[in-house]
Structures are given as C-alpha cells and as structure tokens.
Amino acid sequence: MSHLLDQLRFFKRKQDEFADGHGETRIESRDWENFYRARWQYDKIVRSTHGVNCTGSCSWKIYVKNGLITWETQQTDYPRTRPDLPNHEPRGCPRGASYSWYIYSANRLKYPKVRKALLKLWREARTTMAPVDAWRSIVEDPAKATSYKAERGLGGFIRSSWNEVTEIIAAANVYTVKQYGPDRVVGFSPIPAMSMVSYAAGSRYLSLIGGVCLSFYDWYCDLPPASPMTWGEQTDVPESADWYNSNYIIAWGSNVPQTRTPDAHFFTEVRYKGTKTVAITPDYSEVAKLTDLWLNPKQGTDAALSQAFNHVIFKEFHLEKPSAYFTDYVRRYTDLPMLVLLEEAEKGYKPTRFLRASDLDDQLGQDNNPEWKTIAVDSTTDQLVSPLGSIGYRWGESGKWNIEAREGGEGREVVLQLSQIDNGEVVNVAFPYFGGQLHDHFQQADGEEIQYRHLPSRVLTLADGKQLRVATVFDIQAAGLGIDRGLGGANVASSYDDASVPGTPAWQEQITGVSREKVIRVAREFADNADKTQGRSMIIVGAAMNHWYHMDMNYRGLINMLMLCGCVGQSGGGWAHYVGQEKLRPQTGWLPLAFGLDWNRPPRQMNGTSFFYNHSSQWRHEKMSVHEILSPLADKSQFPEHMLDYNIRAERGGWLPSAPQFNRNPLAICREAAALGMDPKAYALQSLQDGSLRFACEQPDNSDNFPRNMFIWRSNLLGSSGKGHEYMLKYLLGTPKHGVMNEDLGKRDGVKPTEADWVEEGAIGKIDLVTTLDFRMSSTCVYSDIVLPTATWYEKDDMNTSDMHPFIHPLSAAIDPAWESRSDWDIYKSIARKFSEISAGELGVEQDLVTIPMLHDSPGELAQPFGGTDWKTAGEVPVPGKNCPNMVVVERDYPNTFKKFSSLGPLLQKLGNGGKGISWNTDHEVEFLGQLNHEVLEEGISQGRPQINTAIDACEVILSLAPETNGHVAVKAWEALSTFTGRDHSHLAVGKQHEAIRFRDIQAQPRKIISSPTWSGLEDEHVSYNACYTNVHEYIPWRTITGRQQFFQDHPWMQAFGEQLMSYRPPVNTRTTGYVMGKKPNGNNEIVLNWITPHQKWGIHSTYSDNLIMLTLSRGGPIIWLSEVDAAKAGIEDNDWVECFNANGALVARAVVSQRVMEGMVMMYHAQERIVNMPGSEMTGTRGGHHNSVTRVVLKPTHMIGGYAQQSWGFNYYGTVGCNRDEFVVVRKMDKIDWLDDVELGGLGGDALPQPLPQDIE
C-alpha cells in the first residue's frame, strides 16, 4: 500500500495545541499502531500444561496465531474452593512461561537422527541382508560395535527417516529377544503423572514384547523408604490447599517459594490467620525469609534434631502430663501398644520382633495367618488379645481387616495397654548407638556403642513351661529416647541439659549446632498446638533429607513427631512430603494401558537403582564395607561385606526383581523344558538347584547377561538423574571419554563380592543400542545412538495430575507436531508396527518365563513371617514365592504386537481390574469403550476389541477405567474394599456415582477427581485432601504388619542394622577425595566440601536450563554456591571458574560466593546440563561434567528386604534408593580455562568440537 499522500502531508501545519503548548494534536496516519495491536492478536487459545515432573501441574493458555504458537499465560478457571479456603490460582512460574521458546529454537529436535558411524554400518549391511541379519552383522563384530559406541557423546548425528529408524530399532529388538531374551530390552522413563499416556506408550510396547520397565522413584531418590516402613504406602501427602488448615507448620528441607512456586501462596496466606511457621534448612534459603523462626542444623544431621524433638514431646506430652488426645490417638492408630519379644543379650535383653498369635499355645483362636497377627494387652481385662487390622486379617478371611478397637476372636471392644510400668518387671535392655562414630567432616557425640537402659516388661509362660519376655513398643520407645522414668539404670537423662545421653536437646546441639533452647521451644509449641487443635500441626518436607544414605532415619524422626502428636490423617496436619510429580491419580485406570495388563500378566519390572548399580559396574568401585553400618549387637560373621552380595541374595530370594533374569534366554528355557516334556517352572527350578542355570546378577560381566537395547523417553537420564554418571559412560555406554579416576577393587585389592563372579577387567560398552525420545538435544541425546524427535507439550494430547492439587487436566495439541516430530504414542505405535513386520519369520508365538518378586499388596507379602534365608547358601530347595521369585509363563504373540498395542485386550473382562490388593469387574467400562473409541474391524486377534489408535483414545481408556474419574467404578472399588474391612465405605462415592470425566471435559476446565480407595485421603467439598484421612476416620488399616502406623520395625535385617527404632546415624564415608587430592595440582589451594544438589530456581530438573530466557535470568551456565569462609580458604572470588572433583569424576563451573551458604558445604543446583557453557576439566582433560559426575550410588541393605508385609517390593514402592548427599568433593580455582575448541591451538583435545557433518554417507 502506498504511503505517498501520508508523506506529502508530513509537514502539514499542526491543528491544535493543549496543556499550554506542552502538547499538540496532529492529523496524520496512525497505521503504525496496528503493529502493536497485531502483536497480541491470536487465532485461538488451547489449554495445555507442562509435562516436566513439576508438582505445580499448572493449567496454561496456549496462544496460536497463523498456525504458530506465540506465547502462553496462566489459566485462571480452576474449580472454586469452599468459602473459607483461598482459590488455587494463580498457578504458574517464569519457567513455565518460557516454554514456548523451545518450540522454534535451535535446541529443538526436528528430524530423526542416527549416529553416523552406526548408520553407515547399517546401510551397508542392508544392501545385502534382511533387517535382523543386518543388525546381527554389526553387533556380533567387535570392531564394528566398538566403532560407533566409542563415538557416543561426541556428536556425529545425521538425519534419517522414520521408516529407517523404526526399522533399525525393531531389528535390534527382534534380534535381542531372539538371541538373548526379551528381558535384555529395557526402558527408562520417569513420573507417569506428568504425561501419563506418553509414559504408557513406551511401557506398553516394552511390556507386550516382554521387555523391562525400570523404576524411577527410587532411582531419583524421591522414594522415602520411611513411608513404606511406617504406613505401607509409597507416598501419600496433603494437597497444598490443606496447608491453609494448619495452625503450625515446619518447612523442613523444603524451599517452598522456590520449588513449590505455584503453591507458595497457601503458605503465605495461612500466616495471616496466625499460623506459626518454622524453617529448618542448613542454608539461608528463600523459605527461611517467609518464616517466623529459622533453625539451621549442619547438613546431614537432621535425624539428631528430630530425635531431640521426640525426646521433649514424648517426655512432656506422653509421660509427665499425658495429653488425652495424644494418648487415645497412639493407642488406636499406632503400634505403641503392641508387644515385642525380648531376647537375652550379653548384659540383659534386646528387642527382637513383634509377638505373634502363633507364639502362643492356642494362637488365641487364630487359625488363619497366626504368624502375621500381632498381640497386645487389653487393659480392661489384662488379657492378651489379637487386635483387628494386622496384616494377617487382610488375606485368607473377610470382614476383619479394620482398626476398630476390637479383638479378633469374639469381636469385643478393647482398650489396648500402652505401658507396663505399673505392673511390669524392670529389665536392662540394649540399644545400639551410632552417634559416636568418627567422621572427618561431621561432629560426633561420644558414647558407648551399646547402651543399656531400664524398661518394664512382663513374662508369658506357655503350656510347655517356656517363658517369653515381652515389652510394649511404647516402653521400648521411651527407653530408646533416653527418658528417665524413675526406673533407675544408666544412659537416661535427668534433664534436657544432659549432653551425655543420646536424644536430649543438649546432645543434639553437639552434632547439629542448633541451640537446645530453640529445640525445646519448637517441640513444645508444635505439640501444644497439636494437642489444642486435634492434630493441626504439619511438617512440609522436600527431597533434601531423603538424599542421604540414612534417609529413612531422617524421615522416621519427623514422622515420629507427627504420630506422637496425633497429626497424621487430620486435616491441617501430617507429613507433607513433596518431591517429583509422583501422584498418578487415575492409577488403576492407567495400569492396564501402561503395562499391557489387558493382554498379558504379569509385566516385567525392575528396580532402577539396583539395575544401574550392577550394570554400570559401580559395585566394582565400592569402598564402603557393610560391616561399617551393622549394629554393634549384630553377629558380623553372618553378614558379607560387599553391598552387591546383599542385592544378589535379595534378587535370588525373591525380595527384589532381577533383570536380566537368568544367564539364559527365558524363551530358550521354555523351549528346552518343552523338549523334555517338563513344566518350564519345574525345569528352571531344577536347573537352578543343579547349577546349570544361574541368576544373571551373579555374573554381571558375562556378555550373555548384559542389557542390550535401551529406550529412554521423557527423561534426561544421562544429564539429570544418572547417579554415577561417569561410570555409566564408561561401563554401560563404552565411551572412552569419561571422568572415572577411581581404581576398581581388583587394582586396589579391595573386598570383592562373594556371590558374584569377579573378572579382572570390567566389561565396557554393554548396551548395543540406546534410543532416546526428546523434543530437545539434551545430554542424554548426545550419548545416544538414535534420537527421535517428540512432540512438545503444546503439540500432543495427554493428561497430567499432581499431589499438590486435586485436579486432572490435559496436555493438548494446540498445533500439529512441528517438522517431523511425533507424539510418544505415535512413535511407539510405529515401532510396534515395524516390530510386528520384522518378527515374522524370526519370532512367533513364544513362551516366556517371567520371574516376579514377592509383591506388596498381594498374599506374597506374607511369604516370610520371620524373615527368610538364602536358599542357595543354606543348601535349601528353591520354592517360588517362599524363598525364591515366583515364576509365571507368559505367552508372547510377537507378530501381533502392533494389534495388541492398538486395542484393548480381553483380560480386563476375564480377570477384572484393580489395585493395592482389591479388584472389581470392568465389563461395563470395556463395553462403553468399544462404543466410544469404536471397535477394531480388521480381522485378527484384536477384531471386536475397543480401539486405542490415538492418544485421545488412550486417555479415554484411563478415564473410563479409573475410579478417580468414573463415579460408577469408584463405588465398585469402595465396595470391593468393604469386603476386606467389614465396613461399608461406598458412601464415600455414592454421591458421585453418575459422574464420568471425559477428555473433552478436562480440555474445557480442570476437573476435580473422585475419592477412591487407591488413595488414603478424601476429595470432598468439606475436607481438603489429606493423607491417611480414611485410615483415621474410616478405620481402614494401614498396610503394615500391625495394620497401624509403626514406630518399630522388626525384620531380622532391621535388627541387624540397628534400625528397629529411629535414631541418628551420621553420614557414611564414601572415601572419594583422598585418592585424588593433590594428585594433579594446578597451583591453587584445594579444599574438601560436602556436595549438595538442591533444586534450582531457573529450571525444573534439567528442562529450561538450556532455555535462553532462563539462562538470561541466571548466570547462564554451570554454577556452584559456596560460603565466603570456604572461598577465602581456596582463594576463590565470585564468578571465578572452579573445578570440583573426586575419584568418581570432575566438573567445572563458576563460583557464587554467598553469605547464605554455611561453611563446609558446596551447592550445585540440580540439574545443570553438560551441554551449556562447559569448558574442559584440568583433571580429566575432557569437557567438564555435571552434578552427577562426582557421585556414585551406594546401596542400603535394609531397602532390599522383601516378602515381609510392608517391606515387600513394589514398582516404585520399596527398594534400593539412589542416594548422593554423603559425597564430598575437592574444590579449587581453575588455572587455565580451555574450551577445547581447537586442538591445534593448544586445546586439551578432550572432545574438540567436530565440524558440521554432511547429511549423507559417502
């Protein structure tokens, strides 16, 4: 359009003046304003969210203009709350508001990519060979296999096509299944709740072919073992709105405004009601600024602080002036009244295990599971009784699994006795003490390692004259806290100022540095408030305390406070543990879709921590002997020294899963059995016994036992969560450019495992194919062989839930996936289609022998009532489900994998659906899905079945099957639970029986879920969600031995490791700094600091850490924080480049010198990618690593316990945990900053940047 006339009128005389000549009115074109108007115009708004493992789970408006996403803003239409509660919005943060930058950025993956060295080999082989033969020719040739594995991490990707990459992947999978077994194909993806259909896409494919899904919650160190130990629950917590109902809040290791940004308004709002808030953090974090009081214990000593809190609460509110509310609560809802057997020790007695009905002459009339029914004393009759609710009532009988105050015989009411102090005999009882152990960096409090204290007991005389001495948990707990009850004896405190007795405020002051006066004050205030408000005292806790080796002691300490104060299960009170986005609310509707339970059962699952510890050979560098952490009361001769031995025994004994399973292909085992006319299970057991078949974990360096193919999706495993990162690079991936400086056990003559075969040179490069799905080029992508571009969170349909609010809401496709990216569902569907095509002629209908451990929430949790023995070392016969894993033969129809993937199978109608030990009929829901999604018309195995062609179809499957989103199913689920408890719970859902949430409903507005027995709280108009609410108010037992919350843990291993009761245990010594300190000096001072990795402000895990907007708001690259004192010692100034290293590896970063960081620690906020502003390391000569480069996993044997009520394995429920905060690093200022850009110009040449590759192969 011409602007000639406008130009001619440019100098036209002004028309008018105003404001005394300070302003004028002109006649001129104002078309230029349209630019600004158009800037904020849009064609449509679509609702979506961010699938980033963020508990915020915020709903966002996604703006689209001309087919492009332009920006996002927060949605503000959440369903209202009740009048006395603030609304949930605004929800969001700057990180989420920057996500649209990714979609069209240079970081975005646009096309399928393959490592050039691999693709060249593939294309050459495919000119003359079929796909499976082509893959075989590559991986069975050591030179060819090494050629592309050695280039992992060096770039070198070129563009491919979807047809080609799916063919490579499918061929690798088919070859691996046929040659080694389906249990050599593994997948890792975390946190389904953040995008549950995307997770289910990969896990469904893997499960249908018999592959292995690795757990993540334990590997991430988000799983708090104290929760399963205490409640039999993985994690269940209050929604953030319930903070507003509290009258006293302790934020313990949780940086609420920084890591719970969308929910922090509840924390600030409740203070206007007069609620007192206390922060407990070692650094002066952002939450400390929001609270009335800040306590700063030395990092890693929280258990000592909580032990002192418990000492004060127990003494003042349970002994000196007992609270009527507290007394009634602990009697009804905890194990404090239960009787424990006392066994003779050197100078008296020691606690062993709970007294069971089976210990008594007549078993108190309990013929069903008497070994699992705990005993107490009815104070009204002074008779022994078996209270309802213990785990023995859960299985084998109906109607008695509840915690009404009744005994299990005649059902009469009882009042359980807490203490025997009025009529018991005083005895001397031994307790282990660990606080006096020496540590180079932590203060010990001297004391005898075995401390004897007096407590009351009673003797039971059986018919045969045998005598049993017993004491209540209440009396044992009081003695364990060192409280003087007037019983005489040593090691009890006469006052809070007695620093010689473990547990007193003065004792903890030596360890934590927190003044005893503050401890006494906070303990009194916390308990007094709970007493007056019926439990409205709350502890908000983050992942920080769970990242230490003795994380369970840290958590049990504060959980004990809450139980003693009657806070758990009360609105406004309880344990508010927030880590990742762990709460998959429609869980039971999602499970069949995710693990193919509609076609095959059981799935093959593996605990991630044990998997990576084993297969990345971190065990070869173990420096900690298990004998260091055994109780002084234990017989050390009965326990091996190496950690791997415990894990092998746990896998062999059915406590933990095992993957790969055996040293032979499970398909081949079934074929061999068939040839002999034997049942595969009987054949496998016979072969195990005669030694011809072994568990793969016993031969970790045998190539037959390697995991061979690995899928990584929705995860940055190698850039965020991979503890022992450098070991994973060296052993699992085989890249020569790693930072491991640690000698293995052979080279330093260390203690080797006795259960595993040792070879002098550990196997390197175990995995043949690493396939990663992502929307950006992350660190994991850099180390992969194939990278597949996924749709972003604004380009696909999915669902999202969180524990912080009660809503379910969508990810929606605002636009079609850009370039050649695809949704996760479509990617795995295409792989399944190609797998089915290629498997024809290679694999058919096969029998697969699947091993599964003794599972929690199944009768298998009653496998070993008094702990088990290792069948192999004891020379016993392996019995599945008793002393070795259960074995199930599963039929795999490999050519029909795609048809199974894309349809809903028949097992839901044949076997029903359910979760956590209950099940119900699903005929109506399956029929409805056939109408909603339409039925398959194509002939074959899936004909007539409901379709699951699209991601929306998959969403509808979840929504229809889940009680949380289908009121009809919710009523059925509550009725199913009622048959166990003998109480009617259906009233909790009847009012919503006709509610049914569809995918289009949540696209219109977030929807509040329906109450379900899958969870322990209620979604109610009058009650904010609070964990354990139904246990307390509906008398539903906790899923523990006693059916109650447990202070006491009685498994033989818990006794051997001195952890029957909670007590302070100092951090362990990883011994990783002495080996490297001073070995390669650069002229600057070296200091040793504790390595701490809290969550950051500028990203959610590693996402957003490479986002230009967030890089601009931060310092733009890797940074560490250290104190002014430590910086002065090392000669470091703010913004200096520094290096942190130990025997595990090294990293480089810039220093932030800060007053708010305490001396002795260095922080690197998690997670900072190794692909952004990363110079070379002076120690390793390669590009500096990241926060996990200096870590190595150390397992804890008590987390391996299985077949024992709540201490039984479940996927992401219980198992070994990947801790990292006991680690120390050497910190020094760097002398030379080398970006490794050009070897010829003096670069170290560690991984010089390659020239851009031509996108073809010559």
Q: Where are the domains of the chain?
A: 4-103, 172-222+605-874, 337-482, 1087-1191+1223-1241
Q: Cα angle at 209 between 205 and 213, to 5 degrees?
A: 60
> Which pTM value belongs to this model?
0.96
Q: Given a cut of 70, is residue 6 above it in pLDDT?
A: no
**Range name among 834-838, 1179-1183, 1208-1212, 1229-1233 with the lowest pLDDT average:** 1179-1183
Q: Return the percentage of the chain with pLDDT > 90, whole number.
A: 91
Give pLDDT tens digits for 794-812.
999 999 999 999 999 999 9
Question: What is the predicted pLDDT for the residue at 10?
Answer: 62
Interatomic CA distance for residues 275 and 264, integer angstroms: 15
Average pLDDT, the chain: 95
Q: For the chain, how big is the Rg over CA atoms in Å?
A: 31
- Give the pLDDT band (50/70/90) at residue 2: low
Q: In sequence order, which residues have a C-beta less than 8 Å from that of residue 953 and are 6 or more positions away?
A: 933, 947
Q: Given a cut of 50, is residue 937 above it in pLDDT?
A: yes
**Helix, strand or coil for residue 652?**
helix
Q: Given a cut of 80, is residue 1257 above it in pLDDT?
A: no
Give pLDDT tens digits for 210-240.
999 999 999 999 999 999 999 999 999 999 9
Interatomic CA distance for residues 135 and 173, integer angstroms: 10
Q: Given a cut of 90, is residue 631 above it in pLDDT?
A: yes
> Can you name the residues that pair with 25 across neighbouring β-strands?
16
- Give the pLDDT band (50/70/90) at residue 1252: very low
Q: Are 464 and 444 in contact (CB under 8 A)?
A: no
Taking residue 626's Cβ as centre, other Cβ atoms within 10 Å add up to 21
Where b means 16+ CB within 10 Å and e means fewer, 991-1030 reads ebbebbbbbebbbeebbbbbbbbbbbbbbeeebbbbbbbb
Q: Given a cut of 90, is residue 1077 above it in pLDDT?
A: yes
**Range name among 75-79, 151-155, 1099-1103 with the lowest pLDDT average:** 1099-1103
Over residues 10-27, mean pLDDT:
75
Interatomic CA distance for residues 567 and 313, integer angstroms: 13
Question: What is the predicted pLDDT for the residue at 777?
Answer: 95
Give pLDDT tens digits for 962-983.
999 999 999 999 999 999 999 9
Q: Return the percentage of the chain with pLDDT > 70, whole number.
A: 97
- Give the pLDDT band (50/70/90) at residue 3: low
Taking residue 931's Cβ as centre, other Cβ atoms within 10 Å add up to 9
Scan for tokens 């004891």, then name that residue: 874
**Helix, strand or coil for residue 558?**
helix
Interatomic CA distance for residues 287 and 297, integer angstroms: 15
Task: Classify domain 4-103 at the CATH class level.
Answer: mainly beta
Q: Given a cut of 70, is residue 1247 above it in pLDDT?
A: no
What residue type is assigned to position 586 of the chain?
Answer: P
Give pLDDT tens digits for 233-287.
999 999 999 999 999 999 999 999 999 999 999 999 999 999 999 999 999 999 9
Over residues 901-905, mean pLDDT:
99
Give pLDDT tens digits for 664-702.
999 999 999 999 999 999 999 999 999 999 999 999 999
Over residues 118-133, mean pLDDT:
98
Question: What is the predicted pLDDT for the residue at 23?
Answer: 85
Q: Given a cut of 80, is residue 1244 above it in pLDDT?
A: no
- Give the pLDDT band (50/70/90) at residue 11: low
Q: Are 747 and 758 in contact (CB under 8 A)?
A: no
- Give the pLDDT band (50/70/90) at residue 208: very high
**Range name among 277-281, 714-718, 1097-1101 with the lowest pLDDT average:** 1097-1101
Domain covering 172-222+605-874, topology = Rossmann fold (3.40.50)
Q: Are 260 and 579 in contact (CB under 8 A)?
A: no
Q: Given a cut of 80, is residue 1253 above it in pLDDT?
A: no
Q: Given a cut of 70, is residue 1251 above it in pLDDT?
A: no
Give pLDDT tens digits for 435-461.
999 999 999 999 999 999 999 999 999
Judging by beta carbons within 10 Å of its beta carbon (0-12, 13-18, 19+), is residue 748 exposed, middle or buried?
exposed
Question: What is the predicted pLDDT for the residue at 1248?
Answer: 44
Q: Given a cut of 70, is residue 59 above it in pLDDT?
A: yes
Q: Given a cut of 70, is residue 13 above it in pLDDT?
A: no
**Range name among 171-180, 460-469, 684-693, 900-909 with the lowest pLDDT average:** 460-469
Question: What is the predicted pLDDT for the residue at 382?
Answer: 96
Q: Given a cut of 80, is residue 4 above it in pLDDT?
A: no
What residue type is assigned to position 799 of the chain?
Answer: M
How long is the chain? 1258
Over residues 563-589, mean pLDDT:
96
Question: What is the predicted pLDDT for the residue at 14?
Answer: 58
The CATH architecture annotation of domain 1087-1191+1223-1241 reads Beta Barrel (2.40)
Taking residue 628's Cβ as centre, other Cβ atoms within 10 Å add up to 10
Interatomic CA distance for residues 409 and 816, integer angstroms: 64
Taking residue 1050's Cβ as centre, other Cβ atoms within 10 Å add up to 26
